[in-house]
Amino acid sequence: MVKDMQFSDKLKLARQQQQLTQTQIAEQLHVSPKTISSWENARSFPDIGTLVRISDFYDISLDQLLREDQTMTDHYDAIDKHAQRDQKYFQVTYYLNVTLFLVLWGLQAVSNNFRSVVGWLTLAFVINLIVLATHYPDYHAWITGLPHRILL
């Protein structure tokens, strides 16, 4: 593999050296030929799991595939920062919701004189619960599986 090549060029070169079409590679990696084209033209990047399959398929180390492609490195750095931010939001909103729940429960148990405060705290609890749910680490899998879990 030639040094100083972008990931997209390395991918295309590896495919051409094995005399394979994008469609053949797509079938092996369980993606569409359009996805292979996007990778080879640097319009998008594969996820980490697919990177490992590419590395195994072409018998090229991940280090060789990824090294020296600053655009790709920046892409994965941005994904990592986004995941760290979501984790922080999740932790803050989780503990805030626990606190709000305990305060609401305590105010209800103590007296009914705090109805307006309880109303505002309930609203804050619900809003915070929505933020918590959207920053749940596996939110998309949880949401797509929710109707299935409700029905079972």
Looking at the chain, the whole-number percentage of residues with pLDDT higher than 70 is 87
One-letter amino acid at 44 equals S
- Average pLDDT, whole number, for the chain? 83
**Rg of the chain over CA atoms, in angstroms?**
24
The arithmetic mean of pLDDT across residues 92-114, rounded, is 82
The arithmetic mean of pLDDT across residues 91-118, rounded, is 81
pLDDT at 148: 54
Residue 43 is given by DSSP the state S
Q: Where are the domains of the chain?
A: 7-68, 84-151
pLDDT at 13: 93
- Reduced DSSP (H G I as helix, E B as strand, rest coil) percent helix, strand, coil of the chain, to 5: 75, 0, 25
Q: Assess whether pLDDT exceeds 90 at residue 98.
A: no
Q: What is the CATH number of domain 7-68?
A: 1.10.260.40
Tokens (6 digits) for 33: 């030929």
The arithmetic mean of pLDDT across residues 7-13, rounded, is 91
The model carries a pTM of 0.56
